[in-house]
Amino acid sequence: MERAFRQGRLALDFDAPPFDSSWRLLGRSFLLFAGTLPFLAAVTLAVFLPGKLLTQFLCYVLDLPVEGVLSYVLLDISDLVLAALAVPAIVYGLAERLRTGRTPPAGECLRWGRRLCGRMLWNKFNVEITVLLWSLLIFVPGILAMVRLSLTEPALAVEADSCANPLERSRELTAGYRWRIFFVLAPLLILDTAGSFLVLGELARQPRWMLALGDALMWIVNGWTTAALLLIYLARVGRGVPVRP
């Protein structure tokens, strides 16, 4: 961990499989997700459970209906803020697992997440705004923008100080591979969307603490997407798109 802080990026002194098939990468990412599930659950719940409980408490104090527009806005904001801490922490843990075969302690990973939280939040906000603006034209440009910017998070989480423009870095890394990336992301987005509608829709009629718990648990499943994007990123930097010193 101290080495990562001194160098300003994570070590990538290991070989990653090439990104030769969307379905094979989905399979590899699921194995990584399943093999690190206790770690993913620990980091995700450490960040999201108190954050979601606080969000629901604020909605309760402000007397906002669970299915009201303002409640959804607050939930989206909380997702953005909490993911800005959790995602770099998860990427750190998964990268170390791939590099050394061991999963580091959650606290060690969260230190890396706190280090990058502010920059991650700003770049995630820029990604969301960019995708939203393109989606306002017609739906397809929004999807294309999402794919182009899909590697923003792993690029920033791994390269850290050397990644001056994570959005541009993602455009560089996804060039020539965007259809493959789309076919990785599509089933994961469908799974995430369907799960959110089914689980959170049902919990909307339950006490707020149950809704907060369900929301936090759903973010554990989102760790599969993080694992997939990290593997795509590692395959790309190992195939002629080096990490900048």
pLDDT at 151: 96
By mean pLDDT, which of 2-6, 90-94, 100-104 is the weakest? 2-6
Q: Is 14 helix (H, G, I), strand (E, B) or coil?
A: coil
Q: Is the pLDDT of residue 232 over 90?
A: yes
pLDDT at 33: 97
* 63 vs 118, more confident: 118
Q: Is the pLDDT of residue 30 over 60?
A: yes
pLDDT at 7: 64
pLDDT band (50, 70, 90) for residue 167: very high
The whole-number average pLDDT for the span 199-203 is 74
pLDDT band (50, 70, 90) for residue 71: confident
